[in-house]
Amino acid sequence: AAGVIQSPRHLIKEKRETATLKCYPIPRHDTVYWYQQGPGQDPQFLISFYEKMQSDKGSIPDRFSAQQFSDYHSELNMSSLELGDSALYFCASSPGTGGLITEAFFGQGTRLTVV
Amino acid sequence: GQNIDQPTEMTATEGAIVQINCTYQTSGFNGLFWYQQHAGEAPTFLSYNVLDGLEEKGRFSSFLSRSKGYSYLLLKELQMKDSASYLCAVRDQNQAGTALIFGKGTTLSVSS
């Protein structure tokens, strides 16, 4: 079965550079979530989109932005990178289904290292 | 605000039963989820509860008490491969796109 696809899997950037992470949700999933997970930490929610509109916002820094496109894929844009941005970035998707409970399916993550 | 608490670490032996507790305080409640995560890998879905009671799924069961803000994940017949982090997560609203908020996870070590 198709899963959530994230690219790239690994990324190395220097301080103050920019990075773009991509997420392709499971087909027919219209909701995308972005999480940041530092070493030994729990996943921290950054931002989510439903039907191409931002639906929930967590601890996303102002240096980061994200959007969901017409094909439902999403991109997380990160600027002025800092050493502390080094982490695993997970994307998850779920069908929107209004208020019904659905689990979120996670991609394999992008490991960002800022040097 | 939201607060989700789990024990940091637990140890158990192969074949045993272990219970991982989770307590939560959230502004609303629209489901509690358990995920398993091996180091460096994506969290994988184990179970969810939205009504009080026990949900059983093979070797895994999850219990919820909404009035107590309490859940547990029960793992039976433990195997070495069950060594992982177990994350409790809550969705606090019923609107589409509302994110799961995770606890800090419980690292379970299974020994032979």
Q: A72 with A26: CB under 8 angstroms? A: no
Tokens of B12: 């158990």
Q: Name the residue among B87, B101, B103 with its Cβ closest to that of A45.
A: B101
Report the pLDDT averaged over residues B23-42.
92
Tell me which DSSP letter residue A43 carries. Answer: P
DSSP notation for B18-81: EEEEEEEE-SS-S-EEEEEE-TTS--EEEEEESSSEEEEETTEEEEEETTTTEEEEEE-S--GG
pLDDT above 80 (res A101)? no
Please judge whether A105 and B91 are an interchain contact, meaning their C-beta atoms are less than 8 angstroms apart: no
pLDDT above 80 (res A109)? yes
Q: Name the residue among B50, B96, B101 with its Cβ closest to that of A31.
A: B96
Least confident of A31-45, A64-78, B57-71, B94-108: B94-108
- Please report which confidence band the pLDDT of residue B2 belongs to, taking 50, 70 and 90 as the band edges: confident
pLDDT above 60 (res A99)? no
What's the gap in Å between the CA of A80 and the closest CA on chain B? 25
Tokens of A49: 């989109």
User: What confidence score (pLDDT) does residue A97 get?
Assistant: 59
Which amino acid is present at A50? Y
Mutate to test the interface with A, among B44, B50, B55, B102 (most CBs of A within 10 A): B102
Measured distance between the N- and C-terminal CA atoms of chain A, rounded to whole angstroms: 36
Pairing of strands B106-111, B9-13: parallel
**A35 vs A88: CA distance, rounded Å:** 8
Q: Which residues of B69-87 are buried (b: 16+ CB within 10 A; e: fewer)?
A: bebbbebeebeeebbbbbb
Please name the residues in contact with A1: beta carbons below 8 A apart, sequence gap of 6 or more: none
Tokens of A13: 């950037």
**B105 vs B107: CA distance, rounded Å:** 6
Q: Between these two residues, B97 and A24, which has the higher pLDDT value?
A: A24
Least confident of A85-94, A97-106, B32-41, B84-93: A97-106
User: What confidence score (pLDDT) does residue B87 get?
Assistant: 97
Percent of chain B with pLDDT over 90: 79
User: What confidence score (pLDDT) does residue A98 get?
Assistant: 53
Of B30, B31, B61, B63, which Cα lies nearest the Cα of B46?
A: B61
Q: What is the distance, to the nearest Å, from the Cα of residue B10 to the centroid of all Cα atoms in its chain?
A: 13
Q: B42 with A110: CB under 8 angstroms? A: no
Q: Which residues of A44-66 are buried (b: 16+ CB within 10 A; e: fewer)?
A: bbbbbbbeeeebbeeebeeebeb
Please judge whether A56 and B40 are an interchain contact, meaning their C-beta atoms are less than 8 angstroms apart: no
Report the pLDDT averaged over residues A7-15.
98
pLDDT one-digit tens code per residue, B34-76: 999 999 899 999 999 999 999 998 999 999 999 999 999 999 9
Q: B89 with B103: CB under 8 angstroms? A: yes
**A112 vs A114: CA distance, rounded Å:** 6
Report the pLDDT averaged over residues A80-96.
94
Residue of B nearest to A10 (CA): B40
- Please report which confidence band the pLDDT of residue B30 belongs to, taking 50, 70 and 90 as the band edges: confident
